[in-house]
Amino acid sequence: MILSGPSGSGKSTVTKRLLAMPDLPLRLSVSATTRKPRPGESDGVHYWFWTRERFEEELKQKAFLEWAVVHGDYYGTLQREVERHWRDGAGVILEIDVQGAAQVRKLYPDALSIFLCPSTPEELERRLRQRGTETEEKIRTRLANAQKELGRVGEYTHWIRNDDLEATLQRLRGLLTPLFARHTDAG
């Protein structure tokens, strides 16, 4: 499952709640990034926090399923992260940007792709400011990027307005449950 949306759309919150649902065998593919950790983030849990040099070395080794430069930092999904979860029989959530999602859809055109967004640009800005983790410059960059990302919502199989967390989770459960039932019936 590809989960995308602008910064502040609630991707991390939704992912955390989905992973806590015991009836959905889901795992998060931890992405690598060159951005600095935010307060409370841990290496290997939220992201693999790497230097630019290490990221670029992994790029040379073709270790990524997808990668992009977002907000001035590298982000990427390691192929070995995804394969590890598949070997364990789990579905994989890729919490990635629109650039990475386009790369993954080329490789896996049948992947479930979901775009999350809040109802208004003002709500998005409120959420970004409420975090208290970004400089004014970063907030402006993220808001400008959000406008571009919102223009790509039509590339996804589903888009969800994430203004009510419980309603969003119910909708996602409705999309995911049949996929696991089909997999169980086939295997």
Q: Which residue has the higher pLDDT, 99 or 53?
A: 53
51-95 per-position pLDDT tens digit: 999 999 999 999 999 998 888 899 999 999 999 998 988 999 999
182 has pLDDT over 70 = no
Strand 73-78 relative to strand 64-70: parallel, antiparallel, unpaired? antiparallel
Cβ–Cβ < 8 Å for 18, 26:
yes
**Sheet hosting strand 26-28, strand order edge to edge:** 26-28, 91-95, 2-4, 113-117, 158-161
Candidates 71, 73, 87; CA nearest to 25 is 87
Q: Residue 146 maps to which CATH number? A: 3.40.50.300
Token digits for 86? 């598949």
Residue-number span of the structural domain to which 128 is assigned: 2-186
The predicted model scores a pTM of 0.83
186 has pLDDT over 50 = no
The Cα 176–Cα 114 span in angstroms is 11
* Domains held by the chain: number: 1
129-177 per-position pLDDT tens digit: 888 777 888 888 888 888 899 999 999 999 999 999 999 999 999 999 8
What is the CA angle 114-92-165, rounded to 5?
Answer: 45
